[in-house]
Structure 1
């Protein structure tokens, strides 16, 4: 038992050190780097609010546009950032994996935890700022908010681990994945809700797991969101299935991952 605790302590220190290294590499030593992590999603939200307001469009939920886009942009960025950033994690940390205590999974977990934690903190900051400036941000069901965030993190982690594994064997995979993934930004509910879609379009988009997670998260903020279109079992199943496949792919490629460059 003592050996297990010691091993867990060592791995915990390794992952913590990797998180610090990733943070320094992504944001630099300047505080402005960390500030950009907060500013980037805010800029995206403001641009969308400006465009929709200029076009005379209202929020499909009947609430504030800024709140509506916050609940779409942040979960999308959680998925996108994790899926893309994990893809290059193994290549960027090849030298560290020459140490026996540093495994490919540690490297991926370090980057995953940094991305997920950063964006959840940013989410909290934006929601707090919106409340301070007088916007109505009612959290209708905190449980739905929490569960949907965890599910999209699990789903994105699985996709990211699969990407990282494929890249071991196919170095150009990043470009192909980006080309396939980019249209999902417009098909995942960032700009709309399920109930605002024509039935024929909704029938197809309901099978997009990211759309399901965003709809699920919004149901925690807006009582006007219909939960009739959320496939709960499907959304949970996709998250855990992709996470399992991601972990399995990392395990099967663990030796190749240490020296694929």
Structure 2
């Protein structure tokens, strides 16, 4: 065996570690850039990443608590709202960020180590981190006040949350590609978000629906995520219906279409 054969694995491992270090620095730098661009350097700055979804969620909780009963179909209203509104916030923040995502990050391609996917993943990590912290703070505040119960299955709840993030990231990439090829697509994103709201799973649980509506709801991938989040919080006191692989298949299908199109969309980006 030659000396080159013996040392090759070491060089390969060293290159891998060096690549991981570079990738980590790139993602951290891009996340800081996103924070500075969106929230600026003054006042509380990046804390708005967490405070914004918290304030909106608390506003919804207060208004609904004043106009509705304390329970809905036997489920505590506050618990139902936080497991509905905060996943919805994650979905909308991430998916809507896809509008002209590639164009907005085009100038970063002048840096050799940065790709469009790096920019997209940095935004994904930022929004996921902010919404997750907001969810945690809101839940523990309400739990401390005795307004919500303990989490029954944290693993199931976290799985539903992460699947919602994966779906939203996949749709973000689809929107990013579509808005580069068809500028008019931007006009349809907000209407789509609003039209999708009644069926996404935010307002209901599958078990509340008539049999024919249950069959239809299972075709909506976000419904499975909501059911998992609520099943993880409530446990056996509610009946949930979900199939984890279904939103995964939707995500794979969207990414399988969007990712190969990123390079083609890149050619349409014009630098000013």
How does the TM-score come out when normalised to structure 1? Answer: 0.88
1:225 to 238, 254, 260: 238
2:171 maps to: 159
Contact 1:96-1:102 within 8 A present in 2 as well: yes
Question: Is 1:148 paired with 2:153?
Answer: no
Contact 2:96-2:172 within 8 A present in 1 as well: yes
Describe the SS at the equivalent of 2:158. Answer: helix
1:129 to 135, 141, 144: 141
1:17 maps to: 29
Contact 1:154-1:240 within 8 A present in 2 as well: no
Shift of 1:254: 6.2
Q: What does the per-residue CA deviation read over 1:115-161, in whole Å, with 9 as the maximum and x for residues that have no partner?
A: 11110111111111111222233211111112112211111111111
Question: Is 1:171 paired with 2:183?
Answer: yes
Query: Is 12-21 or 175-184 further displaced after alignment?
Result: 175-184
Query: Is 114-123 or 146-155 further displaced after alignment?
Result: 146-155
Q: What does the per-residue CA deviation read over 1:67-109, in whole Å, with 9 as the maximum and x for residues that have no partner?
A: 2111111111111111111333222222211222211111111
Describe the SS at the equivalent of 2:72. Answer: coil
2:193 to 167, 171, 181: 181
Distance change (3 Å), C-alpha of 1:16 and 1:80: same
How does the TM-score come out when normalised to structure 2? Answer: 0.85
Question: Is 1:201 paired with 2:213?
Answer: yes
- Distance in 2 (CA, whole Å) between partners of 1:151 and 1:99 is 32
Distance change (3 Å), C-alpha of 1:5 and 1:49: closer
2:228 maps to: 216
Shift of 1:191: 2.0
- Distance in 2 (CA, whole Å) between partners of 1:207 and 1:236 is 13
- CA-based RMSD: 2.3
Q: Please, which runs of 5 or more residues in structure 2 have no aligned partner?
A: 1-11
Shift of 1:260: 7.1
Describe the SS at the equivalent of 1:189. Answer: coil
Shift of 1:31: 4.4
Q: What does the per-residue CA deviation read over 1:161-185, in whole Å, with 9 as the maximum and x for residues that have no partner?
A: 1111122211232221221222222
Distance change (3 Å), C-alpha of 1:254 and 1:177: closer
Q: Which has the higher contact order (CA 8 A, sep 6+)?
A: 1
1:253 maps to: 264
- Distance in 2 (CA, whole Å) between partners of 1:139 and 1:176 is 38
Q: Please, which runs of 5 or more residues in structure 1 have no aligned partner?
A: none
2:78 maps to: 66
1:57 to 66, 69, 72: 69
